[in-house]
Amino acid sequence: MERTHFETLVAMYDSAPINKWFQPRLRIEEAGRAEIEMPVRADFHHAARAIHGAVYFKALDDATFFAVQSLVTDFFVVTSSFQLYFLRPVSEGHLLARGQVVSRSKRLYIAEGVLLDNRGKEAARGSGTFMPSSTPLGPELGYR
């Protein structure tokens, strides 16, 4: 059941229209952890030729979100808050975001993430709170 849930979450993620542009790859190997890998492209750059902070957020929010969603099998999870710390600029290579659930209660999950550049150096850190919504996981979300 767990492996099927993880594979179905990856299919749901891949079907999201925004991911056609960012081209990320989601991996979920164990409950409560997820990874997002994405290439760094010049069209992610701001005027100073490093990637825009929105890309850092996308990678870290997705990794922490799916760390939580890997534990929730009935409803779609939503991000209720997110704190992001920028540590260094990135302008080439790829990004690897790792998310992990660090606390959970009946309705609230806290997950932390780290974003690494292609040299394995920390580029950013983030943490978020997440909660199940009233939207069931199902085919209309790409969860098949």
Q: Go through the domains of the chain in sequence order and give each one's CATH number.
A: 2-141 (3.10.129.10)
B/e letters for 30-44, b = 16+ CB within 10 Å, e = fewer, are eebbbbbbbebeeeb
pLDDT of residue 124: 98
pLDDT value at position 119? 96
Q: How many CB atoms sit inside 10 A of residue 28's CB?
A: 23
78 contacts: CB under 8 Å, gap ≥ 6:
130, 131, 132, 133
pTM of the model: 0.95
- The pLDDT assigned to 138 comes to 94
The pLDDT value recorded for residue 144 is: 85
Per-residue pLDDT of the chain (144 residues; tens, 9 = 90+): 799 999 999 999 999 999 999 999 999 999 999 999 999 999 999 999 999 999 999 999 999 999 999 999 999 999 999 999 999 999 999 999 999 999 999 899 999 999 999 999 999 999 999 999 999 999 999 998
